[in-house]
Amino acid sequence: MSTAEDFEAIRKDLIDELCQEENSNASHVALPQKSSGSKDRMCVHLRVRPFTEAEVAQNESQDCVSIENSTSVILKQPQISLGSRYSDRGIGQIAQCFTFTHVYGPETKQVEVFGAVKPLIEDVLNGQNCLVFTYGVTNAGKTYTFQGPDNDMGILPRSLSVLFKSIEGKIYRNMNIKPQRCTDFSRLTEMQVKEEEAIKKSVLHLFKESDQYNESCRHSSLDASEGGSSLKSFGSLGDFAEELKHAEQVAVTGADRIRFSVWVSFCEIYNEALYDLLDLASYKCQKRKALRFAQDAKGNTYVKDLRWIQVSSAEEAYKILKQGRKQQSIASTKINNLSSRSHCTFSVRILHVKNGGLHVTRVTEMSLCDLAGSERNTKTKNAGERLKEAGNINTSLLILGKCINALRHNQISK
Ligand SMILES: Nc1ncnc2c1ncn2[C@@H]1O[C@H](COP(=O)(O)OP(=O)(O)OP(=O)(O)O)[C@@H](O)[C@H]1O
């Protein structure tokens, strides 16, 4: 895919297909409508974050957002806006009401927001695909909700802990079956299994190294410096171990006969290009290789050559997540203040295995995407430039592709 026309053609295909998916089922005429079951196929949750200390100090509150009830908010213009000044002169104030699946106020705890995601883990373990993505302007609180601070984790680490808690004792550890393309899998030779093991070991080893480095930084009181504080966020497993202790389980049907082979991938979209955050070559500071989209025989979109790593525990998945995030942050720092333009997707793909690995009954996927908000220099860019720079063309492709895959097997949540 190299030209804007290519992007347009594929985007159109995906939109057409998405519409067909919707129309092919009489009970799903439009996205927000109810599915044949009792659940919405697409849910949109709004979280209004509390003011930060700095915002409180600047007297930020202007009552622009008022939460009406658990499903709707009313938005008014900020007092300093042009529209608001007109309304002072009696021209009329614009206030708009928006309705959501659920609205979470500033006092909402991370665990409550996670409550909206937890049913999707049950779905993915019971044979459905799902996609969760955070969306909003820069500084809205997406990353906080998605990842969260170490001592108050967001939906992604919590999802990992509940998922693994639910399949405890039912994990298929052998790496001889690996997900391929979108919904396929391949059987690996002994040599290939060894390669997979080596890759996994290297990524986990890197985590160990950075963790040890982080500990030494902690002790040398580097935390106050920028480098120290950013390293600190890749800290030890301590908080996650605590999280795991309290993780709940979700119900998995037929789990006595099924084993779960779990694989993860982590990629980033920056400036229209897709990068593998688990690509070891990038860790060695080589120029990052951009990945491409591809389609399988059934027209499902997937990221070609994206690395999938088998994980046997929530701890391993979490370490890989942390290591990938480190890679993401280094890339962003290099290009200075553009961090908010990078979108990341952490995916968990699950092979449902029976008869000691002889049969794979299903391949399901849960994808969690943290989309970047509009960038800081919006005033100086026109909309076209911003879209291109934000990588939104690629993002829409990725999200649309994942939406279609999720819709085929049911669930999306936003
Ligand atoms: N629920 C919350 N409780 C307390 N602080 C929060 C909450 N949500 C966000 N914050 C704080 O608000 C600020 C912005 O949050 P965050 O970095 O998650 O925004 P973002 O939407 O990911 O921004 P960007 O698109 O620029 O990456 C941070 O200082 C974060 O700690």
* Most trustworthy range by pLDDT among 141-155, 261-275, 304-318, 394-408: 304-318
The annotation status of 355 as a binding-site residue, yes or no, is no
Ligand 1 atom with least separation from CA of 372: 25
CA distances in angstroms from 347 to 3, 124, 143, 287, listed in the order given: 27, 12, 16, 24
Give the integer Cα–Cα distance in Å for 363 and 409.
Answer: 11
The sign one gets for the Cα dihedral 411, 272, 278, 110 is: negative
Structure tokens at 47: 């979280």
Retrieve residue 399's tokens: 């999200």
| ipTM score for this prediction | 0.99
Give 22-60 pLDDT, tens digit per residue: 444 333 222 333 334 446 678 899 999 998 888 888 777
User: CA torsion angle for 411, 250, 177, 328 (degrees, to 10)?
Assistant: 70
In 3D, which of 272, 309, 308 has the Cα closest to residue 293? 272
Mean pLDDT of 371-395: 47
Question: Does 225 have pLDDT greater than 50?
Answer: no
- Highest averaged pLDDT of the listed ranges 180-189, 204-213, 294-303: 180-189
The answer on pLDDT for 350 being more than 80 is yes
106 Cβ closer than 6 Å to some ligand 1 atom: no
Mutate to test the pocket of ligand 1, among 103, 113, 133, 144 (most ligand atoms within 8 A of CB): 144
Q: How many CA atoms lie within 13 A of 174 on its CB side?
A: 13
**CATH topology for the 4-9+110-413 domain:** Kinesin (3.40.850)
54 annotated as ligand-binding: no
148 pairs with which residues across the strands? Answer: none
Residues 31, 19: Cα–Cα separation, whole Å: 9
Average pLDDT, the chain: 75
Q: How far, in Å, is the centroid of ligand 1 from the Cα of 151?
A: 15
Whole-number pLDDT of residue 269 = 84
How much distance in Å is there from the Cα of 51 to the middle of ligand 1? 10
Amino acid (1-letter code) at residue 21? E
What is the predicted pLDDT for the residue at 358?
84
* Adjacent-strand bridge partners of 268: 275, 344
Of 121 and 59, the one with more pLDDT: 121
Q: Which amino acid is at 32?
A: P
**Least confident span in 32-36, 176-180, 352-356, 388-392:** 32-36
Please give the pLDDT value at position 112: 95
Q: What's the CA gap between 172 and 219, in Å, rounded?
A: 39
Task: Check whether 201 has a pLDDT greater than 80.
Answer: yes
Query: Going by DSSP bridges, is the β-strand pair 411-413/130-134 parallel, antiparallel, or unpaired?
Result: parallel
pLDDT of residue 395: 53
Q: What pLDDT was estimated at residue 402? A: 59
The answer on pLDDT for 230 being more than 60 is: no
Q: Does the pLDDT of residue 195 top 90, yes or no?
A: yes
The number of residues in the chain equals: 414
Establish whether residue 372 lines the binding site of ligand 1, counting it when its CB lies within 6 angstroms of any ligand atom. Answer: yes
- pLDDT value for 387: 39
User: Which of 70-74, 125-129, 175-179, 385-389 is predicted least confidently?
Assistant: 385-389
First to last CA, the chain: 28
Give percent above pLDDT 70 in the chain: 65
Q: What is the pLDDT of residue 110?
A: 95
Three-state SS at 177: strand
Rg over alpha carbons for the chain, rounded to the nearest Å, is: 22
Other residues' Cβ atoms within 10 Å of the Cβ of residue 49:
17
Q: In a 10 Å sphere around its CB, with 0-12 CB exposed, 13-18 middle and 19+ buried, how is residue 89 labelled?
A: exposed
Ligand 1 center–CA 109 separation, angstroms: 14
User: Residue 130 pairs with which residues in a beta bridge?
Assistant: 366, 411
List the domain boundaries for the chain: 4-9+110-413, 51-105
Q: How far apart are alpha carbons 114 and 165 in whole angstroms?
A: 15
374 CB less than 6 Å from ligand 1?
no
Rounded to an integer, the average pLDDT of 139-165 is 92
CA 159 to mean position of chain CA atoms: 11
Give phi and psi for 229, each to the nearest 5.
-70, -35
Q: How far apart are CA 149 and CA 332, in angstroms?
A: 19
CA angle 303, 154, 149 (to 5 degrees): 110
Across the range 353-377, mean pLDDT stands at: 80
Among 64-73, 98-107, 266-275, the minimum mean pLDDT is found in 266-275
Known binding residue 300? Answer is no
Arithmetic mean of pLDDT, 80-107: 75
pLDDT at 334: 42
- Which pLDDT tens digit goes with each residue over 249-307? 898 887 678 999 999 999 988 877 889 999 877 766 667 888 998 888 888 888 999 99
Identify the pLDDT of residue 386: 42
271 has binding-site annotation? no
Q: In the prediction, which pLDDT does 221 show?
A: 38
- Per residue in 317-348, pLDDT tens? 999 998 888 877 544 444 334 444 578 899 99
> Across the strands, what pairs with 412?
42, 131
Out of 56, 143, 336, give the residue to mutate to test ligand 1, the one with the largest number of ligand atoms within 8 Å of its CB. Answer: 143
d(CA 150, CA 229): 12
Q: What is the mean pLDDT of residues 57-81?
A: 82
- Residue 173 clears pLDDT 60, i.e. is over it: yes
Q: Of 22-36, 89-103, 215-229, 380-394, which gets the smallest average pLDDT? A: 22-36
